[in-house]
Structure 1
Amino acid sequence: MEKPTHLIEYETMLLGQHRHLDRSAYILLSRIRMEGMMSIGQLSEAFGLDVSTLNRHTSSLLRAGLAERIPDPEGGIARKFRLTEAGERHLDCERARNIDGLETVLADWTADEVTAFAAFLKRFNTDIERLGGRPWPRPERRQDSGAGV
């Protein structure tokens, strides 16, 4: 009999297959949107990845026109990445597609089940972040639309 942790590992692995936008691009664009402009060093610290790996990922964003590098507005030496208008639109479209897909999958779930699942996912992710020392910024829950995490 498999342990529940084996089942969780397998199911979380399967989650990654349902993305239309490259996973690294989606995560990088989302982080830059949440944090604001970030340097390669700040991204390295935030993700725990080496600079060469991030250079490959950010180069792909630059080539696709989803992000741009600009001088640090605060006068720092390091250049910062920010989303372009195309990057904002691309991220919005991908997020809407993901939400539509989730709403389709969860259509037969009760509101309480969806709320409980979201709470467990948040707890799972925040525990990972706590253990890794890299918390992820989260939007405040918006009262008017129920949006947020």
Structure 2
Amino acid sequence: MLIGRHHAMAGGRSTGALERSAYLLLSRIEAQGPMSIGQLAEAFQLDASTVNRQAAAMLRAGVVERIPDPDGGVARKFAITVVGGEALTEDRRRHQEGLDRVLKGWSEAEVAGLATALTRLNRSIEDLQGVVWPRG
């Protein structure tokens, strides 16, 4: 919660910044490839109507586009547009700059320890929820 609040206070919601839901959905699409509403709803354990509203907002913003299923399925999928990829990259850069400010003065060992602990925490949450985030 504090990291999110720090990010918002440090200009994370500046002009052009993605909404939190768009950032999360775009990150998942980037990691997994084009996804349908149903796949996104399952991945985030959300109701399909919620994801549909978020996807509609992302379509209006031009950060995703609907494409035919690359695997030949019936459902259309969402893919990241060039604009969406650029927005995601810029938001990640802002997030990283914010974390760099927070971790200023930490040793490399302390940063590595935090990364290890956060990875373990995330994987424990995934195990409990039965939903795994794709990792490259």
Give the CA deviation at 1:82.
0.4
Q: Which whole-Å CA distance do the structure 2 matches of 1:63 and 1:15 have between them?
A: 29
Give the CA deviation at 1:100.
1.3
SS in 1 for 2:79: strand
- List per-residue Cα deviations over 1:1-21 (Å, max 9, x = no partner): xxxxxxxxxxxx233332433
Question: Partner amino acid for 1:35?
Answer: Q
Residue of structure 2 in register with 1:53 after alignment: 50
The CA RMSD over aligned residues, in Å, is 1.1
The one of 31, 36, 57 equivalent to 1:39 is 36
- The unaligned stretches of length 5 or more in structure 2 are none
Give the structure-1-normalised TM-score: 0.81
Question: Partner amino acid for 1:102?
Answer: L
The size of the alignment, in residue pairs, is: 127
Question: Partner amino acid for 1:62?
Answer: L
Is 1:126 the counterpart of 2:123? The answer is: yes
SS in 2 for 1:68: strand
Residue of structure 1 in register with 2:97 after alignment: 100
SS in 2 for 1:38: coil
Residue of structure 1 in register with 2:78 after alignment: 81
Give the CA deviation at 1:74.
2.0
Q: Which whole-Å CA distance do the structure 1 matches of 2:46 and 2:98 have between them?
A: 30
- Select the structure of larger CA radius of gyration: 1
Q: Percent identity?
A: 54
SS in 2 for 1:69: strand
Give the CA deviation at 1:138.
2.1
Question: Partner amino acid for 1:16?
Answer: G
Residue of structure 2 in register with 1:16 after alignment: 4
- The unaligned stretches of length 5 or more in structure 1 are 1-12, 140-149
Q: Which whole-Å CA distance do the structure 1 matches of 2:57 and 2:3 have between them?
A: 23
Give the CA deviation at 1:107.
1.5
Q: Which has the higher contact order (CA 8 A, sep 6+)?
A: 2
Q: Which whole-Å CA distance do the structure 1 matches of 2:3 and 2:98 have between them?
A: 12
Question: Partner amino acid for 1:127?
Answer: S
SS in 1 for 2:117: helix
Give the structure-2-normalised TM-score: 0.89
SS in 1 for 2:26: helix
SS in 1 for 2:86: helix
Question: Partner amino acid for 1:66?
Answer: V
